[in-house]
Every structure is written in structure tokens, then in C-alpha cells.
């Protein structure tokens, strides 16, 4: 199986740091209006990242043909070469010669709480959607990126009968309740983490049943506890896979999305697709950086069997 998948979202250079303590121990509630805090970190890792890049990278490892849709800056050449060498199609990217590619500085404490500073750079402007993207794809993923892209792309995919995953994630704060409700309409999959789900419910005034009036499958990831997959007919509690270590959680959600979409397009039951997504996420948790992991499909099959005491179904042709 080699599905062609459009992946929109961010492409960014990441600087990732781990803080040995807890952020919460250094914030004083009575001084929340006047914060001045410095954290000393012991390591810094620079890598390629961004939601679209991370998802596409893991999809390519699985054998898919991801096509990234995003705007990048004049400094993107090394990142383009990296993706191209690993089977990610970059020919639809729009390059801004006046701006840098987006840049993220991410700091994680020992309970996996994160503080991120994000410079959007070329991503500040919306992606110019070329007419040629409107066909020839098996699936699409709308991941956090330019807010205007997140408003427009779901409509493009609906209009051209391309099933899609809507993943508002970190951009929920930049999107209105109406934006979010329009984005999830006729989505094959709507996915957020548990904290983001609370934000979506608050902004849209929709409960889970209301969201299911728009999206066919609703997924809430809950970190080390696994994920919850809900349809109009069933609610599935998906147990987590076990990482060999918890080196760095950055990018785990992106890897989960890649694994789940692969399982969905393979025709697997949703419970298996969810477990597979959690297993793919383990690979990035175990390595510092979001595109530093690697695996073969045979390795993932073996590890799935070890974790869940069952074999993966055959991948449909």
C-alpha cells in the first residue's frame, strides 16, 4: 500500500531542550501578572520539525507517499533535501525569498510539560492553494499551521471528495468557535489531545455528541494513558504502547497521527489503528528530536505483537 496523502501544517526548524525540574515549582501564583523566570537546561538538540514535516516523515517511513503543503523561507534548502531523500514530496511548497522558515524553541520539564516559543516566519502568510492539489490524493491531513490555511483547506478537500483528518491542535487559540466547527464538518477524523478537547468544547459549545454530528471519527489522545476513539456507534479506550524510555515527548502526537492514518487507510479496525498510532509514537518519544527515529515495517509489526499479544492484520493492496 502506497497511499498519496496531502499533509498541510507547519515546517519548522526546532531547538529542543529538557529541563530537569518542574516548571510549576518556579511560578508564583501571586506573581502571575509579573513573570520573570530563567531555566537552566543540560542539553540542546536542533532538528527538523513542524507538524506537517513530522507527520509526513513518519508516513514516509511506513511506505506512504506524503505531499507537504506549506510556505517556507529562503533557508529551507537543507530541510527540503532531508525530506526528499526520505520519500516526502516537496514540489508543492511555496518559498518566500524574503523571510526565514518557521522556528520553534521547545523546553520540556520532567513531567512532559512544555513551553514553546514559535516564530512563524514564512508561515505568517497563507499557502497559495494550487488547483492541481484538488485531485489525485487518497487522504489529507490538516494539521496546525497558518490559521487561514486551516480555514480554507477543509473546504477544498470537502469540495473534491478527499477524506481528511482535521487537527487544530496548537492553533485552537487562533481559531474561532465557528472556524473550528466549519473545519470539522464532514471530516473523516477529528483529533486533539485531552486539554485541547476541553478548549474546543468551550469555544464551539459542542459536546462530544455534537462534534460527532460533524466528524465521523473523534480521537482524543491522553498521553501515557493512550487514546479514546469515538464514533456514533462505539467508544473505544485504546491502551498505550510502552516506550523503551521517555527521552523526549516532542512530536509524539504527530507520529500517532501518521500511524493512525496508515492503519485507517489499511482498512484495520479503529482499535488496531489507534494502538498502531500509539506504537509509532513510541519511536519518537525514545529519541531526542521529532524526525530522528527510524524503523522498518517488519520492526513495527514485531513490536506491535510484543506490546499487544496479537498480530497486525494484513495491509490491503
**Where in the sequence numbering do the catalytic residues fall?**
254
**What is d(CA 70, CA 10) in angstroms, rounded to the nearest whole number?**
7
**What is d(CA 246, CA 154) in angstroms, rounded to the nearest whole number?**
34
CB 88 within 8 A of CB 27: no
**Helix 270-285 × helix 51-62 angle, to 10°:** 110
Burial readout 181-216 (b: 16 or more C-beta within 10 A, e: otherwise): bbbbeebbbbbbbeebbebbbebbebeeeebbebbe
CB 261 within 8 A of CB 139: yes
**What is d(CA 253, CA 266) in angstroms, rounded to the nearest whole number?**
20
**What is d(CA 248, CA 15) in angstroms, rounded to the nearest whole number?**
12
Q: CB under 8 Å to 200, separation ≥6 — which residues?
A: 168, 172, 180, 192, 206, 211
Helix (H) / strand (E) element for 276: namely helix 270-285
DSSP summary character for residue 306: H
**What is d(CA 273, CA 36) in angstroms, rounded to the nearest whole number?**
44
**What is d(CA 104, CA 113) in angstroms, rounded to the nearest whole number?**
16
Give me the residue label for grid cell 480555514.
151
CA geometry: angle at 143 spanning 140 and 148, to 5°? 100
Amino acid at each position: 500500500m502506497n497511499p498519496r496523502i496531502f499533509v498541510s501544517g507547519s515546517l519548522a526548524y526546532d531547538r529542543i531542550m529538557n529541563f530537569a525540574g518542574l516548571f510549576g515549582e518556579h511560578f508564583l501564583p501571586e506573581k502571575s501578572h509579573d513573570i520573570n523566570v530563567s531555566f537552566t537546561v543540560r542539553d540542546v538538540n536542533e532538528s527538523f520539525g513542524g507538524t506537517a514535516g513530522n507527520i509526513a516523515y513518519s508516513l514516509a517511513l511506513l511506505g506512504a507517499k506524503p505531499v507537504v503543503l506549506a510556505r517556507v523561507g529562503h533557508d529551507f534548502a537543507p530541510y527540503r533535501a532531508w525530506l526528499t531523500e526520505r520519500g516526502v514530496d516537496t514540489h508543492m511548497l511555496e518559498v518566500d525569498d524574503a523571510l526565514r522558515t518557521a522556528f520553534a524553541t521547545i523546553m520540556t520539564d520532567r513531567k512532559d510539560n512544555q513551553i514553546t516559543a514559535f516564530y512563524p516566519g514564512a508561515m505568517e502568510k497563507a499557502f497559495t492553494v494550487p488547483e492541481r492539489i484538488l485531485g489525485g490524493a487518497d487522504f489529507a491531513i490538516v494539521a496546525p499551521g497558518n490559521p487561514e490555511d486551516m480555514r480554507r483547506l477543509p473546504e477544498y478537500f470537502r469540495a473534491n471528495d478527499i477524506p481528511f483528518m482535521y487537527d487544530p491542535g496548537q492553533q485552537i487559540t487562533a481559531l474561532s468557535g465557528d472556524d473550528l466547527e466549519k473545519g470539522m464538518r464532514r471530516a473523516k477524523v477529528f483529533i486533539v489531545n485531552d486539554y485541547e478537547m476541553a478548549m474546543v468544547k468551550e469555544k464551539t459549545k459542542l459536546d462530544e455528541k455534537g462534534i460527532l454530528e460533524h466528524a465521523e471519527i473523534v480521537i482524543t489522545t491522553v498521553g501515557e494513558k493512550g487514546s479514546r476513539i469515538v464514533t456514533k456507534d462505539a467508544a473505544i479506550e485504546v491502551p498505550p504502547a510502552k516506550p523503551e524510555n521517555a527521552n523526549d515527548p516532542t512530536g509524539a502526537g504527530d507520529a500517532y497521527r501518521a500511524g493512525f492514518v496508515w492503519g485507517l487507510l489499511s482498512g484495520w479496525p479503529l482499535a488496531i489503528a489507534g494502538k498502531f498510532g500509539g506504537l509509532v509514537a513510541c519511536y519518537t518519544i525514545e529519541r531526542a528530536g521529532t524526525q530522528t527515529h527510524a524503523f522498518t515495517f517488519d520492526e513495527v509489526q514485531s513490536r506491535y505483537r510484543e506490546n499487544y499479544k496479537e498480530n497486525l492484520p494484513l495491509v490491503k493492496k
